[in-house]
Amino acid sequence: MNELENEYQLKILDMAANLCLDKIATPTDENLRFMESNVDKIVWDVGTQIYQQSGFKADFARVRDIIISRLEKIRHQIQLKGERKAAEQAKGEAKLREQTERKAAEAKRLAELREQAQRKAAEQGKRLAELREQAQRKAAEQGKRLAELREQAERKRKAAEQAKCLAEFLEQAEFLEQFDGNKNKAEIFIKLRWVLLEELSIDEEKVNLDSDIKYYLGADWADMLLLSVAIEQEFEIEIPDDEAEKIGLHGYNSCRVRELLDYIYPKINDTAKTALPEAKRLAELREQAERKAAEAKRLAELREQAEQKLAEATRLAELRQQAERVVPEEAKREAELKPEIFLKL
């Protein structure tokens, strides 16, 4: 057999041996261990199978070399497979680690956003509380101012009514006849009647010159003391205790309105006023009444403006309370929605 024939024979042997090994030489760790521990048996099986199929007596040494070569290939395949698997596993772990880090960073950012929202809600709540307190304080101040304006307006109105009433009474002839035409004395009576009405809280019709202050108008000893003080303030006079007791303002005695008027009238020192011509004095009274009426009207307008401002302040306080309720809800809703939005992204 020449060299070419021998080479061809070895080539066919290699092919036949590899065909036999293809059936058992799967690239797994378990199969590799099995083949490594049973090389001789595999050599025998492969050689026997070749002989049975072709009648050719294979060289066992050659078959063993083929098997050893195949084992090297299997080791290399398993190694490559292990390296690929390790690379894929490392890649998967890196990806998982990256996802974990990204989720941790996202969770941290969401926590910061939640903290910012809570801090903002707390600041807004504090600011709203301050605004509500300011609104309440302003409303209280406006309410106080409104009460003062009402009181002033009421005083002005009463003063205007009194001035008008005085002017009307002084023009009535029947009224002046009670005082023998003395308009100055009639004016003092009207002022005295106002004091009695104010201090005793009685009807205007009950007060006349013959009215008994204690037994008819119902004043007790405390009312009499307060009445004497009010008369001193109204007419700018001084009533000594002995004179007050003498005329019936103090003690157990009583007096009529006429007696009190007769006591007050001489003490009035406004002689310049009584010397004025009657027409001029009436004109002055009318002018005073008109001024007081205008002032009362102005105070009424101011009171209306103050009421409008108070209503506006109340409305603003209600709006602030509504905003205070809405802001925490919006902040909470925003904090709840942000994680969902980020997860969708």
Catalytic residues, by residue number, are 220
Q: Token pair of 245, please?
A: 């007791």
Residues 6+ apart with CB under 8 A from 235: 188, 191, 264, 267, 268
Q: How far apart are CA 47 and CA 41, in angstroms?
A: 10
Question: CA-to-CA distance for 70 and 59, rounded, in angstroms?
Answer: 17
Q: Are 254 and 212 in contact (CB under 8 A)?
A: yes
CA 182 – CA 197 distance, rounded (Å): 23
Please list, in sequence order, all residues whose beta carbon lies within 8 angstroms of the beta carbon of residue 42, skipping any fewer than 6 positions away.
21, 24, 35, 67
Q: Take residue 160 and report the two structure tokens written for it.
A: 């205007």
**Backbone dihedral angles phi then psi of residue 245, each to the nearest 5 degrees:** -70, -35
The CA R_g of the chain, rounded to the nearest whole Å, is: 60
Helix, strand, coil content of the chain in percent (nearest 5):
85, 0, 15
Neighbours of 17 (CB within 10 A): 25
Taking each helix axis from N to C terminus, what angle separates 29-37 and 60-170, rounded to the nearest 10 degrees? 160
Cα 193 from Cα 208, distance rounded (Å): 8
What CA–CA distance (Å, rounded) separates 265 from 192?
10
- The residues that bridge with 212 in the sheet, in sequence order, are 256
Instruction: Specify the residue for token string 């929202």.
Output: 117
